[in-house]
């Protein structure tokens, strides 16, 4: 194991309640990956009846593959925080801005 000390954007809220990492509209993954190069969808999402137990931790954005976003630098997000919503039924980064 390594200890990583770095600042990354916080996932301030997530509407995708079907996700294993989602508890009470919060993401409890260590970090999420966003996008498929074009669409800023949450790439860490997976649907599960079982949800995270460790709710002390709030997720950060570990990587983002959406290079065209104004917050994207070298495939990393430089926004202070991101908000994940489900406008079309899928978990999408709403902080994305072309
Ligand atoms: S941000 Fe992604 S990984 Fe986290 S709860 Fe939402 S859909 Fe799941």
- The residue extents of the domains of the chain are 10-93
Q: Calculate Rg over the CA atoms of the chain.
A: 13
Pocket test for ligand 1, best of 8, 29, 30, 52 (most atoms within 8 A of CB): 29
Confidence (pLDDT) at 53 = 85
Confidence (pLDDT) at 48 = 93
Q: Which of 39, 49, 44 is nearest to 17 (CA)?
A: 49
In ligand 1, which atom is closest to the CA atom of 15? 6
In ligand 1, which atom is closest to the CA atom of 59? 4
DSSP-derived letter for residue 41 is B
Confidence (pLDDT) at 2 = 85
Residues in the chain with pLDDT values less than 70: none
Confidence (pLDDT) at 55 = 87
Confidence (pLDDT) at 30 = 94
Centre of ligand 1 from the C-alpha of residue 33, in Å: 9
């Amino acid at each position: 194991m390594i200890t990583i000390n770095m600042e990354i954007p916080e996932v301030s809220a997530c509407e995708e309640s079907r996700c294993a990492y989602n508890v009470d509209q919060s993401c409890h993954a260590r970090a999420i990956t966003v996008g498929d190069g074009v669409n800023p969808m949450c790439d860490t999402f997976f649907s599960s009846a079982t949800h995270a137990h460790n709710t002390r931790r709030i997720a950060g954005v570990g990587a983002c593959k959406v290079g065209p976003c104004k917050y994207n630098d070298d495939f990393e997000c430089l926004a202070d925080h991101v908000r994940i919503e489900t406008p079309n039924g899928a978990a999408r980064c709403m902080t994305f801005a072309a």
